[in-house]
Amino acid sequence: MVNALAPDKAIITAICDVQKVKTDAALEELKKSGHGQKPAVYSGTLDIWKEMIKRDDIDLVIISTHWEYHTTMSIEAMRNKIHVAVEVPAAYILDDLWALVDTAEEMQVNCMMMENVCYGDEELWLLNMAQQGVLGTLTYAECAYIHNLRELMFSKDYYYNMWRIRHHEERDGNFYPTHGLGPVAQYMDINRGDSFVNMVSMSSLQASLDEYSKQIESTNEFYNRTGYKHGDMVNTLIKTAKGRNILVQHDVVTPRPYNRINALAGTKGYHEGYPSRLSLVNIDKGHRWLNEKDYKVYWDKYQHPLWTKLKEGIEKYGGHGGMDFVMIYRIIDCLNNGWFLDQDVYDGAAWSVVAPLSTISIELGSIPVKFPDYTRGKWNEFRELGILKNI
């Protein structure tokens, strides 16, 4: 994706991965693109990334490792005055999230969690409508990460060292909230006039991994293993300072079709995704979904202009339907122009903290727990969301 913007907007100066096969594949992709980029390569050991970030020609580092490395790598990069774009979640330990915020403030560099779903065409369209009042006063939302990952989690080579299933062994909770919650937080101006206040989480019994582990090959270290701590389904209910409610679901082990729900309710309208449907009080008093013709009127009217502007690149490079390309384009364009990033360190922390807070809530009998205020009281100050203005 970054290579797609070379050489006019960005240059790839270095790539790093513990597995040489990954860096070799990256180099091959760069070679095929014909842009002539020849980045330095760092590979072979778990700590080789520390050498890379000592370079003086890196402005931005993109961290796409498994969860355990997000905080350490982000902090070390920021301490070298490098902007950070880190995969989701930004961190999954309470102290680590504060460390990211504190370091970004101390070093005065950007630390953006790369929530790509915020750049989806449906999500940007819905954000545009929400901001323009089409749905009225927003009151409630439902979102989720529902994605059957059983086969991938038991794979010996899909996740490095099978890291993802090890989390299911060790703890319970809403592990991966931000794909659903990130867009909802932007719809509701979280950290820009509203704030998450408290939440409660509840986990179902665990059954799917116990049963599936009996079906895998006997040479797999997780064969016939039982006692996973993570329940099959986790529900989290969040309350905001303005009194809004948000339901966040997490289920990666049952045979359910992929779904992020993307439901948003207001006094004048309601949207629900998968597939995208819209109901408005000014059409049949909101008693039915808009028909295809009426829906298209609103789709065309409120389609985010960024998707029109980047249509050619989206079609060529794609990435989860185009959202990956749009996200990388925005990160680099904002940095090049000196604009605030669409997601700052406070957003990344507030969205990610659902994971550790959900673990606490569940362990204590599904009690309400309070959110930390990473903005230190400034959440109710208006801050314009750049993607609605600087495009």
| CB neighbour class for 157 (10 Å; exposed up to 12, middle 13-18, buried from 19) | exposed
- The domain segmentation of the chain, as residue ranges, is 3-114, 117-388
What mean pLDDT is reported for the chain? Answer: 96
In tens, the pLDDT along 141-175 reads: 999 999 999 999 999 999 999 999 999 999 999 99
Which residues does 339 contact at the CB level (< 8 Å), separation at least 6?
333, 386, 390
Buried b (16+ CB within 10 A) or exposed e, 305-331: ebbeebeebbeebebeebbbbbbbbbb
In tens, the pLDDT along 210-248 reads: 999 999 999 999 999 999 999 999 999 999 999 999 999
Q: Is 3-114 in CATH node 3.40.50.720?
A: yes
**pLDDT for 3 beyond 80:** no
pLDDT for residue 68:
96
**pLDDT for 2 beyond 70:** no
The pLDDT-based confidence of 108 (bands split at 50, 70, 90) is: very high
**pLDDT for 312 beyond 90:** no
Nearest to 357 by CA among 142, 202, 242: 202
Distance from C-alpha of 148 to C-alpha of 259, rounded to nearest angstrom: 10
The amino acid sitting at 136 is: G
Pick the CATH number of 117-388 from 3.30.360.10, 3.30.70.20, 3.40.50.2300, 3.30.565.10: 3.30.360.10
- The structure tokens listed for 186 are 């932007």
